[in-house]
């Protein structure tokens, strides 16, 4: 795999045009501009933008819940897929997990999205549940996957 120098920074409203373009290029039923704007402004949401040089190449949105970080979106621009963008941002998230109060990362992956399923497995996520008919706009099931930094100690 080629080596690219990715920069990750907090997403701002100024990033909305690039994020919206990647969203539309990546999903059959993309989130609207208003949906994305609300997510960027939501107090519990963490939005990260991935750039290579000055070019936006991916983004991630997560919901920082009380007991976990739940990934809402992790998107790579079509021309940058299979170049390690998603892996880079996920590794950064896992590395930073130890510094915060969260110990789990969860995500739902469409059963037909084999590249994503393989990436999450490679990074230590495991499927803990199959959610039948999870999506409103498609008949597909979803794998509910989880990464646990520290297993709960049953003796505490």
| pTM, rounded to two decimals | 0.83
| Percent of the chain with pLDDT strictly greater than 90 | 42
Give mean pLDDT, residues 72-76.
92
CA 39 to CA 61: how far, in whole Å? Answer: 8
Q: Number of C-alpha atoms within 13 angstroms, CB side, residue 67?
A: 3
For residue 108, tell me if it sits in a domain. yes
Quick check: is 154 in a domain? no
Which residues are bridge partners to 129 per DSSP? 144
Average pLDDT, the chain: 84
pLDDT over 90 at 25, yes or no = yes
What residue numbers bound the domain in which 39 lies? 6-148
Q: What is the pLDDT of residues 108-142, one digit of tens each?
A: 988 888 888 999 999 889 999 787 765 556 567 78
Yes or no: say if 8 and 87 are a contact pair by the CB < 8 Å rule: no
Is residue 39 assigned to a domain? yes
- Is residue 155 assigned to a domain? no
pLDDT at 129: 79
CATH of residue 142's domain is 3.40.630.30
């Amino acid at each position: 795999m080629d080596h690219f120098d990715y920069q990750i920074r907090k997403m701002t409203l100024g990033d909305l045009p690039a994020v919206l373009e990647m969203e539309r290029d990546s999903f059959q039923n993309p989130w609207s501009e208003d949906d994305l704007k609300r997510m960027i402004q939501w107090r519990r949401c963490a939005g990260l933008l991935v750039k290579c040089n000055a070019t936006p190449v991916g983004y991630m949105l997560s919901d920082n819940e009380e007991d976990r970080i739940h990934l809402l979106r992790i998107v790579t621009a079509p021309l940058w897929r299979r170049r390690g963008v998603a892996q880079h941002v996920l590794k950064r998230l896992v590395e930073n997990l130890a510094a915060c109060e969260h110990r789990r990362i969860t995500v739902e992956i469409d059963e037909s999205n084999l590249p994503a399923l393989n990436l999450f497995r490679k990074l230590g996520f495991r499927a803990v549940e199959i959610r039948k008919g999870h999506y409103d706009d498609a008949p597909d099931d979803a794998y509910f996957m989880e990464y646990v930094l520290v297993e709960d100690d049953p003796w505490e």
